[in-house]
Chains A and B, each alone.
Chain A
């Protein structure tokens, strides 16, 4: 892959996005869609810039980000712990496996009413929902990564006299890191989606709430802004995680 193919790939990838915006503009310009239902792209961008600079909108973003990170971090800690424990200990495995088997395909959004009734309408219920949804991809990826660690690595460490507890942190965890990070990436995108949904259902702040308020007052422009914002947030967070990944996995073969 040289620089030229990468640029041509990028240009090619821009085509559908540009086309989409062009069709959008055309729909408005040629009066196929009324402006109240489909505002022109430029107006959405303008409104977006205006909103991003306003303090209230920044607070909404901060509220969303706080819930997102809190939920995601709890999910990472729980997921990695249980995933590792299940991979190295047969007893824990026998307990965790069937529970995960039952809980993973359960639609977690359906649990949200129960969470609301149990922990209230504040931050906690949203954070818990994010955790519930992000937990399983991370747990499964950790489990998968840790249970496919090459046996020879463990044997060499044992032969060199490393105590079992240290093998876990010095051999198994680093060897499972690429898989864990892949799980975290899926978990992060899920967190973005879920925090937004939870805020749409019941909330007094956050990006999801902005969307619902705009929908109730039929402000089409304001409906696009939070959607674009969450998409951008997702892309930025994904990029940051990619940086963390390339830092943590420096020295791994083609990580």
Chain B
């Protein structure tokens, strides 16, 4: 009971601190938590912004889906074959510190400001952590199980699907969880750079126009999306890999 209530209490506590801080600072551009919450229904009730949210979520789902579908097989192969691993590792290391959303201006030059550019950026942002975690997971699979599988006549492809994949699943799902938060972050950033549609567009347009309660209301909405998606994924993960204890029960999120 306490465990379930704690995150909600933490949310309320943070909102209370916000409320007090803004009351104390008396800054015009820093609305109180209550004012920001009051602005939420207006945003969610507006048809335009709902269309924007829909477009954002669609891009995010497509980008995330493709990234997972490509990255898991690649990561697993890298984990099981040293050749494949040393083939891809340096390339991934070079790409890693590049901010994916920063590629947006260049990709926009080639593909325009539409859905393809944004989805591609989300895809790039999600794939690296998923590849990395699948790689680590596949590397740690116990050799004996693979030998037993080979002795029982499983082909290399079958061993991959029925031994390596399930054994690496907890690690893979950790990667997917990081990827999910990343997808949200990349989505917001890409929309902020290509201001055309989406949640990021609403947020940064409100900032430019000085509608500060909309800015803070959008921050609450986007934050709630992050926390909600993460909790949902965690539920699914707990079902899929009931047999394994998670290492960290909080995802590492970054852009």
| B167 proximal to A (CB < 8 A) | no
Assess whether A102 is in contact with B215, with CB atoms less than 8 Å apart.
no
| A3 proximal to B (CB < 8 A) | no
Option from B7, B13, B102, B219 in Cβ contact (under 8 Å) with A111:
B219
What separation, in Å, do the CA atoms of A116 and B29 have in the docked complex? 10
CB interface residues, A 81-135, toward B, < 8 Å: 94, 97-111, 113-114, 116-118, 133-134
| B134 proximal to A (CB < 8 A) | no
Assess whether B252 is in contact with A211, with CB atoms less than 8 Å apart.
no
Once A16-B91, A197-B189 are accepted as A-B contacts, the answer to whether A136 and B252 lie under 8 Å apart by CB is yes
CB interface residues, A 203-234, toward B, < 8 Å: 208, 211-212, 214-215, 218, 220, 223-224, 227, 230-231, 233-234
Assess whether B7 is in contact with A102, with CB atoms less than 8 Å apart.
yes
Size bracket, chain B contacts: 35 or more
Option from A9, A33, A218 in Cβ contact (under 8 Å) with B86:
A9
Assess whether A102 is in contact with B216, with CB atoms less than 8 Å apart.
no
| A192 proximal to B (CB < 8 A) | yes
Once A12-B86, A106-B227 are accepted as A-B contacts, the answer to whether A193 and B27 lie under 8 Å apart by CB is no
Which residue of chain A lies nearest to B204 when distances are taken between CB atoms in the complex?
Answer: A113
Minimal beta-carbon separation of B210 from chain A (angstroms): 9
| B67 proximal to A (CB < 8 A) | no
Assess whether A186 is in contact with B10, with CB atoms less than 8 Å apart.
no
| B66 proximal to A (CB < 8 A) | no
Chain B positions 81 through 120: 1 when the CB is less than 8 Å from some CB of chain A, otherwise 0: 0110011111101111111111101101110000000000
Q: Which A residues are CB-close (under 8 A) to B89?
A: 13
Assess whether B102 is in contact with A108, with CB atoms less than 8 Å apart.
no
Assess whether B105 is in contact with A102, with CB atoms less than 8 Å apart.
no
Assess whether A223 is in contact with B29, with CB atoms less than 8 Å apart.
no
Assess whether A189 is in contact with B96, with CB atoms less than 8 Å apart.
yes
Assess whether A200 is in contact with B106, with CB atoms less than 8 Å apart.
no
Assess whether A13 is in contact with B87, with CB atoms less than 8 Å apart.
yes
Minimal beta-carbon separation of A192 from chain B (angstroms): 5
Which residue of chain A lies nearest to B182 when distances are taken between CB atoms in the complex?
Answer: A107
Assess whether B105 is in contact with A117, with CB atoms less than 8 Å apart.
no
Minimal beta-carbon separation of B45 from chain A (angstroms): 21
Q: Which B residues are CB-close (under 8 A) to A235?
A: 93-94, 97
Minimal beta-carbon separation of B8 from chain A (angstroms): 8
Q: Which A residues are CB-close (under 8 A) to B223?
A: 106-107, 110
Once A101-B10, A101-B250 are accepted as A-B contacts, the answer to whether A15 and B87 lie under 8 Å apart by CB is yes
Assess whether A231 is in contact with B188, with CB atoms less than 8 Å apart.
no
Chain A positions 39 through 78: 1 when the CB is less than 8 Å from some CB of chain B, otherwise 0: 0000000000000000000000000000000000000000
Assess whether B94 is in contact with A101, with CB atoms less than 8 Å apart.
no
Once A12-B87, A16-B87, A20-B91 are accepted as A-B contacts, the answer to whether A230 and B252 lie under 8 Å apart by CB is no
Chain A positions 155 through 190: 1 when the CB is less than 8 Å from some CB of chain B, otherwise 0: 000000000000000000000000000000010011
Once A140-B250, A200-B193 are accepted as A-B contacts, the answer to whether A227 and B227 lie under 8 Å apart by CB is no
What separation, in Å, do the CA atoms of A163 and B82 have in the docked complex? 48
What separation, in Å, do the CA atoms of A211 and B109 have in the docked complex? 13
Find the residue from B10, B188, B212, B251 having the highest chain A CB count within 10 A: B10
Residues of A within 8 A of B (CB): 9-10, 12-17, 20, 33, 37-38, 94, 97-111, 113-114, 116-118, 133-134, 136-137, 140, 144, 186, 189-190, 192-194, 196-197, 200-201, 208, 211-212, 214-215, 218, 220, 223-224, 227, 230-231, 233-235, 237-238
13 contacts between A and B (CB under 8 A): A13-B86, A16-B88, A99-B14, A102-B7, A106-B223, A106-B253, A107-B222, A110-B222, A200-B102, A227-B106, A234-B97, A234-B98, A237-B97
Across the A-B interface, the 9 shortest Cβ-Cβ residue pairs = A234-B97, A215-B105, A13-B90, A98-B10, A98-B6, A105-B230, A190-B254, A9-B86, A193-B99
